[in-house]
Chain A
Amino acid sequence: MLTITNLSASVGDKQILRGINLTVNAGEVHAIMGPNGSGKSTLAQVIAGHPGYEVTGGSIEYEGKDLLELEPEERAHAGVFLAFQYPIEIPGVTNAYFLRTAYNEVRKARGEGEVDPMDFLDVMAEKLKLVEMDESMLHRSVNQGFSGGEKKRNEILQMAVLEPKLAVLDETDSGLDIDALRIVADGVNKLRRPGNATIVVTHYQRLLNHIVPDFVHVLAGGRIIKSGGKELALELEARGYDWLLEHETTAGAAR
């Protein structure tokens, strides 16, 4: 589904990603872990098409298409979704209007008809239940005045509405208490389909107890320095990242 080959990206003249290789197949869950500032969000934003990051080398193939050629909205239409680490507030636009506009734009792109506001409320009733959100959230401005946890839930609500094929969740667990974490994880699990894939960017093992990954990758210094199964996450939890980073430095020096 997704093949990232030797991807490099920078902001201004700061090189952040330095040759990422990653293959994700339909049905898989990949976890990406790593220290702060290692480039995890950058990778997520590049997949979503953020214009602030310049791709300086490599490629991303998504379902046989050159993903980097597509505008951000075209990526969304093609089924790519990013749950933002820091969701954006949009004062003056209600959540309901925002979600319906997004829903209809994606439907239009897929050749399906638009739904009117009343029918959309029916669609929403079920999605709201998935993330245990109250209907009143629909009538507030997008993310404005939302608590950290509400913002993260709102991201998953958007995911539920857009039903993406490839979901990238960027630290969706950070700032959540145990209950909220369970709600968010359950929501993501319920949205899983055999044809879909999920990339979970996280700092902590605890989310991975709920969303069990098939593969775990460690991103450091803009590169994936180690990949493994779900047990790698447990090892990282116990030992931290330092042993890997030292290993990487020696390996680098030896080359």
Chain B
Amino acid sequence: MTTEARDAYRQQFGGATTEGAEWLRALRTGAMTAFDTHGFPTTRNEDWHFTSPAPIIEAAFAPMMPALGTLTAADVEPFLVPGTEWATLVFVNGRYAPQLSRVEHLPDGVRVMNLASALLEEPTLVGAHLGSLARYDQQAFAFTALNTALLRDGAFLHVRQDTVVETPIHLVYLSDAGAEGGVSYPRNLIVVDRHAKATIIEQYGATGDARYFTNAVTEAVIADGATLTHYKVQREGRKAFHVGHIEATQGRDSHFISFSFATGAALSRNNIYTRLAGAGCGATLNGLYMLDGEQICDHQTSIEHAEPNCYSRELYKGVLDDSSHGVFNGKVYVHPVAQKTDGKQTNNTLLLSPRARIDTKPQLEIFADDVKCTHGATIGQLDDRMAFYLKSRGVGAESARQLLTYAFAADVLETIELEPLKGELEKSALERFVSK
């Protein structure tokens, strides 16, 4: 199985080697070599123990065809947040769609463009960071290796020192009917300079019902005193596969706030990694996944405390219906020097069906002695007493179930500071269980 798939990817690589600057060709070749050396992981790989990537590998996705070119603003509309005029980059089938994008009203000191343009316009900055954060030289990161070897486009954001971008920048990755059988490799690079501040929404969705694969990688450099808020909204098509890897590095006194909202795809794997590489910085990683049918959704977070006096906060919640399968693996690594680390991790699951399943695995490795690190996980069903209370007030069984499901998710949604997006995701969460 894997040899065939590996050959197919090697073939995809054939054409890519000749593209771009020399440093980029070297990066691609290195990544391809890493992939060749390690191959794809199986469930024997500890990092893929609960989720088998075999369905993605066996499907042997071909490079995605360019969009049919028929998507209009009306097709993109459902993926935008009503009442907002945020800068938006739209990508269709992995390619930038300038006619569907709008980049305006941004302060001086902010550069937003597609990565293919940035490779030409900002070669030094891109060259300095691209591929430097997202690790790929291990079997567990085979998909990152492939993305690095085969990357074509994505988003580039650079926020200069002391610049505060008040409104978010929205990246919308859509796959249309032409995506059938194809794979795209969105690749994003975010550089937030000292004391600058920015918010990014990275959204994935489909306009059709195609079976495709999104293999995305985002790298974020968060300099001293800077703040990056990153929202990932994964609403891929129901037949789609999604593997996304986000990797950040944080300077002194910086903040990384990440929220991962996942309701889409047949199978998705979402890595969110950050390295607290400066004293006094902090990371907040929250997430909500709501699954039904046969969906599989796997989150792996990694927080590396490499310096003293840093904090990390994690709250992940899952609502699992039918035969769906959720996975949460929260890694926290505290280096010997990282004294006074303050870490807290929580994973709560609501099982709406006896067939639904959650695998939750906290993974704390602590090598400093003066630290406070806690973790906790709960798995529960809807509370019968609450349901009866609602029914006794005239609320029907279905509405009661919907309301209580929403209530379970409410506190983690409440952490979203971007009000219009919060409203949109709350609506999405409420609607999720209406038709049951």
Query: A residues near B, CB below 8 A?
Result: 48-52, 71-73, 75-77, 81-82, 84, 87-88, 90-93, 97-98, 101-102, 105-106, 109, 158, 162
> Shortest beta-carbon distance, A61 to chain B, in Å?
20
For A81, the chain B residues whose CB sits under 8 A away are: 392
- Check: B385 CB closer than 8 A to any chain A CB: yes
For B410, the chain A residues whose CB sits under 8 A away are: 91-93
In angstroms, Cα B384 to Cα A106, docked, is 21
In angstroms, Cα B393 to Cα A162, docked, is 8
- Known A92-B410, A92-B411; judge A105-B396 contact (CB<8 A): yes
| Beta-carbon contact of A51 and B399 below 8 Å | no
- Check: B389 CB closer than 8 A to any chain A CB: yes
- Known A51-B388, A90-B386, A90-B389; judge A73-B411 contact (CB<8 A): no
| Beta-carbon contact of A109 and B406 below 8 Å | no
Cβ-defined partner of B406 (8 Å) among A49, A82, A92? A92
Q: Which of B385-402 contact A (CB under 8 A)?
A: 385-386, 388-397, 399-400
6 A-B interface contacts by CB (under 8 A): A48-B392, A72-B392, A90-B390, A93-B403, A102-B394, A109-B394
Q: What residue of chain A has the Cβ atom nearest to residue B394's Cβ?
A: A76
- Check: B418 CB closer than 8 A to any chain A CB: no
Q: What residue of chain B has the Cβ atom nearest to residue A76's Cβ?
A: B394
In angstroms, Cα B425 to Cα A23, docked, is 51
> Shortest beta-carbon distance, A98 to chain B, in Å?
8
Could you mark each residue 333-356 of chain B with 1 if its beta carbon is under 8 Å from any beta carbon of chain A, else 0? Answer: 000000000000000000000000
For B384, the chain A residues whose CB sits under 8 A away are: 51-52
Given contacts A92-B408, A97-B403, 10 further A-B contacts (CB under 8 A): A48-B392, A49-B391, A73-B400, A87-B389, A88-B385, A88-B388, A90-B390, A98-B403, A101-B403, A102-B390
| Beta-carbon contact of A72 and B385 below 8 Å | no
| Beta-carbon contact of A73 and B403 below 8 Å | no
For B125, the chain A residues whose CB sits under 8 A away are: none
For B140, the chain A residues whose CB sits under 8 A away are: none
In angstroms, Cα B389 to Cα A94, docked, is 14
Q: What residue of chain B has the Cβ atom nearest to residue A75's Cβ?
A: B392
- Check: B26 CB closer than 8 A to any chain A CB: no
- Check: B59 CB closer than 8 A to any chain A CB: no
Q: What residue of chain B has the Cβ atom nearest to residue A107's Cβ?
A: B394
Q: What residue of chain B has the Cβ atom nearest to residue A143's Cβ?
A: B389
Q: Give the A-B contact count at a CB cut-off of 8 A.
A: 75
- Known A90-B404, A91-B407, A92-B408; judge A84-B389 contact (CB<8 A): yes
| Beta-carbon contact of A82 and B392 below 8 Å | yes
Q: What residue of chain B has the Cβ atom nearest to residue A86's Cβ?
A: B385
| Beta-carbon contact of B388 and A76 below 8 Å | no
| Beta-carbon contact of A49 and B392 below 8 Å | yes
- Known A72-B388, A88-B385; judge A102-B407 contact (CB<8 A): no
In angstroms, Cα B384 to Cα A127, docked, is 28
> Shortest beta-carbon distance, A31 to chain B, in Å?
21
| Beta-carbon contact of B394 and A77 below 8 Å | yes
In angstroms, Cα B391 to Cα A109, docked, is 13
| Beta-carbon contact of B404 and A91 below 8 Å | no
Cβ-defined partner of B394 (8 Å) among A52, A73, A84, A88? A73
For A84, the chain B residues whose CB sits under 8 A away are: 389, 392
Q: What residue of chain A has the Cβ atom nearest to residue B400's Cβ?
A: A73
- Known A90-B386, A91-B407, A93-B410; judge A71-B392 contact (CB<8 A): no
Q: What residue of chain B has the Cβ atom nearest to residue A90's Cβ?
A: B386
Cβ-defined partner of B391 (8 Å) among A72, A92, A97? A72
Cβ-defined partner of B392 (8 Å) among A76, A92, A101, A109? A76
For A162, the chain B residues whose CB sits under 8 A away are: 393-394
In angstroms, Cα B389 to Cα A92, docked, is 15
- Known A88-B386, A101-B399; judge A76-B407 contact (CB<8 A): no
| Beta-carbon contact of A91 and B394 below 8 Å | no
Q: What residue of chain B has the Cβ atom nearest to residue A88's Cβ?
A: B389
In angstroms, Cα B392 to Cα A71, docked, is 9
| Beta-carbon contact of A91 and B411 below 8 Å | yes
Cβ-defined partner of A92 (8 Å) among B393, B395, B396, B407? B407
For B409, the chain A residues whose CB sits under 8 A away are: 92
Could you mark each residue 363-400 of chain B with 1 if its beta carbon is under 8 Å from any beta carbon of chain A, else 0? Answer: 00000000000000000000011101111111111011
Nearest 3 interchain pairs by C-beta: A92-B407, A92-B410, A76-B394
In angstroms, Cα B409 to Cα A90, docked, is 12
Q: What residue of chain A has the Cβ atom nearest to residue B414's Cβ?
A: A92
| Beta-carbon contact of B385 and A105 below 8 Å | no
In angstroms, Cα B134 to Cα A32, docked, is 70
For B403, the chain A residues whose CB sits under 8 A away are: 93, 97-98, 101
Q: What residue of chain A has the Cβ atom nearest to residue B389's Cβ?
A: A88
For B408, the chain A residues whose CB sits under 8 A away are: 92
> Shortest beta-carbon distance, A166 to chain B, in Å?
13
For A73, the chain B residues whose CB sits under 8 A away are: 391-392, 394-397, 400
Q: What residue of chain B has the Cβ atom nearest to residue A104's Cβ?
A: B394
| Beta-carbon contact of A50 and B388 below 8 Å | yes
For A51, the chain B residues whose CB sits under 8 A away are: 384, 388
In angstroms, Cα B178 to Cα A188, docked, is 65
> Shortest beta-carbon distance, B380 to chain A, in Å?
13
In angstroms, Cα B385 to Cα A82, docked, is 14
Cβ-defined partner of B393 (8 Å) among A50, A71, A97, A158? A158
For A106, the chain B residues whose CB sits under 8 A away are: 393-394
> Shortest beta-carbon distance, A123 to chain B, in Å?
15
Q: Which of B16-31 contact A (CB under 8 A)?
A: none
| Beta-carbon contact of B407 and A90 below 8 Å | yes
> Shortest beta-carbon distance, A172 to chain B, in Å?
15
In angstroms, Cα B391 to Cα A165, docked, is 17
> Shortest beta-carbon distance, B387 to chain A, in Å?
9
